[in-house]
Amino acid sequence: MKIYIDGKYYAKANAKISVFDHGLLYGDGVFEGIRAYHGRVFKLREHVERLFCSAKAILLDIPMTREEITRAVLDTCRRNRIRDGYVRLVVTRGVGTLGLDPKRCERPSIIIIAGTIQLYPEELYKKGMPLVTVATTRNISNALNPAIKSLNYLNNILAKIEASNAGCQEGIMMNSEGFVAECTGDNIFIVKGKQLLTPPLSAGALYGITRGVVMDLARLQGLEVGEPNLTRYDLYNADECFITGTAAEVVPIISIDARVIGTGKPGSATRKLIAAYHALTKTEGEAI
């Protein structure tokens, strides 16, 4: 494996950053998780744009243009002979002092890792999986805005621990007002009649790339897409439920907090969206 760090490629064993990098010391940085399918990097430009938006929000000046980062991602995939895989694109604040001040950091660092990922067992995509709601509240917008895909993921990790302790691989996070925000690493959707509903971004949901793709696909399939505030009651009484994410793709949900969703099996709308998503990944993307 060849890993890109600040314009150079290193073998996995030699790919290192300084212990004084503020990405390590304080979680000061941003990242993107990106998928490659069939020799193409899916929605690469959208991911790069979101990276720059996250960086702007934390006043982090990325020392490369969007076009340069796009080329670097594609080149990293080529060097690692990736046709179907996962890319982690990271920008840290860079090497600084032991103090918080980001102005003391010399220069941001850019890291690109191209490999593979499998979040959930294949069986769950066919049979569906259970979810639980967790006690850890999603970060509020005027503290650490969930729209920023930052290296500080402790809020999500604490929620993930709770879900794991409850015997589930994913957990639902509520916001401070008691509305559904998102899962620990995925966006959440429900189907009710001919409607596809998902929490609004203002509720604490990430600006999910896969989220947006699925919403577009749903409209093409004749579903009415909405973004209302949702409660656990809405989830429990949904006809279908699924989660989305770049790494997760689209995963059917069959129960929430021990309440069976719909028939207890992946629903027809969910199955159609999964098929449409997979079909799209075969034709769209930047050629490696």
CA dihedral (172, 174, 88, 288) positive or negative:
positive
Q: Which CATH architecture has domain 2-115?
A: 2-Layer Sandwich (3.30)
Confidence at residue 119, expressed as pLDDT on a 0 to 100 scale: 83
Confidence at residue 146, expressed as pLDDT on a 0 to 100 scale: 95
Q: Provide the percentage of residues in the chain whose pLDDT is more than 90.
A: 98
pLDDT level of residue 276 (50, 70, 90 thresholds): very high
264 with 129: CB under 8 angstroms? no
Rounded mean pLDDT, 128-132: 98
> Burial level of 118, CB count in 10 A (0-12/13-18/19+)?
exposed
196 with 222: CB under 8 angstroms? no
Checking if the pLDDT of 30 tops 90, the result is yes
Whole-angstrom CA distances from 212 to 19, 34, 43, 84, 203 are 37, 14, 11, 21, 16
Report how far residue 105's alpha carbon sits from residue 250's, in angstroms, rounded to the nearest whole number: 39
12 with 113: CB under 8 angstroms? no
Look up residue 211 and give its two tokens: 């989220």
**Could you give the strand order of the β-sheet that contains 8-11, starting from the edge strand earlier in sequence?**
8-11, 2-5, 109-115, 85-92, 29-37, 40-41, 286-287
Confidence at residue 98, expressed as pLDDT on a 0 to 100 scale: 97
Checking if the pLDDT of 177 tops 90, the result is yes
Domain ranges (residues) in the chain: 2-115, 122-281
**pTM of the entire predicted model:** 0.95
pLDDT level of residue 118 (50, 70, 90 thresholds): confident
Checking if the pLDDT of 194 tops 90, the result is yes
* Bigger pLDDT: 118 vs 224: 224
Largest Cα separation within the chain, whole Å, is: 57
Confidence at residue 170, expressed as pLDDT on a 0 to 100 scale: 97
Q: What fold, for 122-281? A: D-amino Acid Aminotransferase; Chain A, domain 2 (3.20.10)
Confidence at residue 117, expressed as pLDDT on a 0 to 100 scale: 87
pLDDT level of residue 200 (50, 70, 90 thresholds): very high
Could you give the residue numbers annotated as active site?
A: 149
Q: Provide the percentage of residues in the chain whose pLDDT is more than 70.
A: 100
Q: Regarding beta strands 224-226 and 259-260, do their DSSP bridges make them parallel or antiparallel, or are they unpaired? A: unpaired
